Amino acid sequence: MSDREIRVGSSSAAGSPELVGERKLGAAPSHWLALLAIALAAVAADQLTKHLVARQLRLDDGVHVVGPLWIRHVQNSGIAFGLFSQATAVVIVLTGIAIAWMLFYFARSGARHPVLPVALGLVIGGSMSNLVDRVRLGYVTDFIDLRWWPAFNLADSFIVIGVLVLLGALMLAEREPRGPQRLRRDAPPRPS
């Protein structure tokens, strides 16, 4: 599999093929810099908010903010919804593999779409922040409590937003481009 994308079309004269464009798909240094900046910002924001919650609220204490939103100090040794809470080591290994796969994918395809550094930066940053907590503490601190949904943290939010941005970009990329409109035979030719 090549790391170049080649688009072939035909010229208006005699239908002969012509090369329209060629570009590298692998991540350039500017893509890596954007990914790193977003991932580090996500880790910093998540770690800061977790630290503030753990410092200001005792475990299981909460503060009502507005409507259904509460800030509640919760520890989660599993993943989403507390799943696999007794398998922290497995969660750590799987998260590490997922991060490595995302970095490999980005290295090969970082220039494919302009939102990839943003989307993968959010997913990688959120994943790394929760991974650091699991390795260091054996759990993650969750604190955003909507009362009707299990508590979560900023890292979880970054992961979900990154995945949604990535899916949106993929869905838009999969849409078939509109082809050139055909001229009627009796219409005058377009000026060049």
Task: Give me the DSSP letters along the chain.
Answer: --SEEEEEEE-TTTT-EEEEEEEE-SPPHHHHHHHHHHHHHHHHHHHHHHHHHHHHS-TT-EEEEETTEEEEEEEESSSGGGTTTT-HHHHHHHHHHHHHHHHHHHHHHTTSSTTHHHHHHHHHHHHHHHHHHHHHHSSEEEEEE-SSS--B-HHHHHHHHHHHHHHHHHHHHHSPPPPPPPPPTTSPPPP-
Specify the amino acid at residue 87: A
Q: Enumerate the active-site residues.
A: 142, 156
Report how far Cα 160 is from the mean position of its chain's Cα atoms. 8
Dist CA 49 CA 151 (whole Å): 14
Dist CA 19 CA 7 (whole Å): 6
